[in-house]
């Protein structure tokens, strides 16, 4: 979604309901811009989340909160702050 030529993917990321979205890194491959061509690292997920926030005109915090909630629900980890 961070690559300049990923227009279709960017449109999908802007249009699908946020409550249906998860984030992933493709690690160790396909590092996001600005790390393209390097080994991908988990912390680079912030670049992906920021791009989605920019595409949707919402805050990075909103993307992080909603996608984290979605992951907790999918994997049945309980609500935010719950013991796992």
Domain membership of residue 50 (yes or no) is: yes
Q: How many structural domains are present in the chain?
A: 1
Domain membership of residue 54 (yes or no) is: yes
Expressed as residue numbers, the domain containing 14 is 7-74
Domain membership of residue 83 (yes or no) is: no
How many residues in the chain? 84
Domain membership of residue 48 (yes or no) is: yes
- pLDDT tens digits for range 4-46: 999 999 999 999 999 999 999 888 888 988 888 999 999 999 9
Distance separating alpha carbons of residues 25 and 13, to the nearest angstrom: 15
Domain membership of residue 43 (yes or no) is: yes
Q: What crossing angle do the helices spanning 45-56 and 7-15 adopt, rounded to 10°?
A: 70
Distance (Å) of CA 40 to CA 13, 34, 54: 20, 11, 21
pTM: 0.86
Instruction: Say if residues 2 and 33 touch (Cβ distance below 8 Å).
Output: yes
Domain membership of residue 82 (yes or no) is: no
Domain membership of residue 58 (yes or no) is: yes
Domain membership of residue 62 (yes or no) is: yes
Question: Given pLDDT bands bounded at 50, 70 and 90, which one contains residue 81?
Answer: low
């Amino acid at each position: 979604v961070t690559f300049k030529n990923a227009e279709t993917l960017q449109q999908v990321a802007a249009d699908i309901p946020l409550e249906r979205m998860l984030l992933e890194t493709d690690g160790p491959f396909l590092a996001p811009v600005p790390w393209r061509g390097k080994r991908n690292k988990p912390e680079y997920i912030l670049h992906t989340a920021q791009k989605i926030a920019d595409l949707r005109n919402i805050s990075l915090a909103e993307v992080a909160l909603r996608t984290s909630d979605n992951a907790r629900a999918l994997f049945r980890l309980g609500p935010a702050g719950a013991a796992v």
